[in-house]
Amino acid sequence: MAFKRVVVTGLGAITPIGNTVEEFWHGLSNGVSGAAIITKFDASKFRTKFACEVKNFDVTQFIPRQDARKMDLFTQYAMVAADEAVKDSGLDLEQINKNKAGVIWGSGIGGLKTFEEEVINFASGDGTPKFNPFFIPKMIADSASGQISIKYGFRGPNYITVSACASTNNAIIDAFNYIRLGRVQVCISGGSEAAITQAGIGGFNGLRAMSERNDDPATGSRPYDKDRDGFVLGDGGAALILEEYEHAIARGAKIYCEIVGGGMSSDAYHITAPHPEGFGAFLSMQDALEDANMKPEEVDYINTHGTSTPLGDPQEIKAIEQLFGEHTYQMSISSTKSMTGHLLGAAGAVESVAAVLAIQHQMVPPTINLFNIDETIDPRIDLTPNVAKSKKIDVVLSNCFGFGGHNATLIFKKI
């Protein structure tokens, strides 16, 4: 059986550097940092006092207040991103076969704030359990895909994938596969996260994984810089409408690009540290290229996982050099986390949208805050320092790696 082709026909984004796709691209192409002192709670006693929050978000502009209050913030972001993507796709919701329409979402954690609030409320009482009836349905991570399907009446496959910071790449790979197999015609995919909470910041601080550059938040996320000191946590989400090619053509849809490959692997090494030689990253990218039936030389741009941690960044570069050989020095590489921060399970969502927009605009978004490149990184590598670059881009590869050793890679191709 021949695989069907899968295309991207709609985009939505709510990110620390823009609350719509247009604003997001404006931020990406202009090298804007989304980092600032945390406003969601008083972080003065925390090791890290800054993050990449979504700004000026008023949920009632999108969702009636009585509905919104039954959703954790990560689900609200999911609804807003999905809404923009569905509108952008021009899908006629009365015409499509909703039994063949799915929602496959990604989130690394789910309703962390909801969980935190309920437990704090319980712990501060006299031990009498007074848990809100909406606690569980708000907190569970699959509520995002559930709520989206309820809104649009999509009755096809519906679930979320959880693989920490690789979550959304896994979600998109699953959606891609179901459409390739002819099981689904349209799928809302993407991911969202809202982990900038006391427990989120405190927990990642406990791991010593986050930047503590409190005196200069905007330069905290600095992948590949020799003075990088950890990632910067980000909130938000993004959605992509994935559609079977002939289905999209038949309705005259605007087509952004094609998804041609998905690769997956596991480090099978350590629960938080990446494999020091980047072996899992290598396998994931190799698997994606094989899936796409492509040679390494065909890739024009890699949107790296590049979180700005001392351990993570070099191992991914090693894996790229090992797989791409001399071509490593011909293509462009950048980490858009330098601008957005690290959206954990939603990283693959915003970075997939960034990859699609890079193809659309034929422009590589930069790695900002590159003051002094890590000396262990070969200077011939084009890390797209600080300024976006116009470039002929036919193929983009996007990596996501997660705690647990999960690696997932997507390949997008100009159509």
Partner 1 sequence: MSAIASKVTKIIVEKLGVDESEVTPEASFTNDLGADSLDTVELIMEFEKEFNVSIPDDQAENIQTVGQAITYLEENSK
Binding site for partner 1 (CB under 8 A): 64-67, 130, 132-134, 137
Burial call 66-80: b when 16+ CB within 10 Å, e when fewer = eebeebbbbbbbbbb
Q: What would the two tokens of residue 113 be?
A: 């704030």
Considering only CA atoms, give the Rg of the chain: 20
DSSP-assigned beta bridge partners for residue 238: 13, 191
Q: Which is nearer to partner 1, 61 or 66 (CB)?
A: 66
Smallest separation, CB 363 to partner 1 (Å):
44
Smallest separation, CB 82 to partner 1 (Å):
21
Short-list 296, 286, 301, 316, CA closest to 223 = 316
Q: What would the two tokens of residue 251 be?
A: 């309705």
Contact 10, 241 (CB under 8 A): yes
Smallest separation, CB 70 to partner 1 (Å):
8
Q: Which is nearer to partner 1, 63 or 344 (CB)?
A: 63
DSSP 84: H
Q: What is each CA distance from 252 to 91, 356, 361, 367, in whole angstroms? A: 10, 19, 21, 36
Residue with tokens 């969702």: 63
Smallest separation, CB 93 to partner 1 (Å):
23
Q: Enumerate the H helices of 140-244 as residue ranges.
A: 143-152, 167-180, 198-206
Smallest separation, CB 54 to partner 1 (Å):
23
Q: How many CB atoms lie within 10 A of CB 276?
A: 13
Q: Which of 52, 165, 257, 400 is flagged as catalytic?
A: 165
* Residue 165 falls in the annotated catalytic set: yes
Cα atoms in the 13 Å half-sphere on the side-chain side of 26: 9
Which active-site residues does the annotation give? Answer: 165
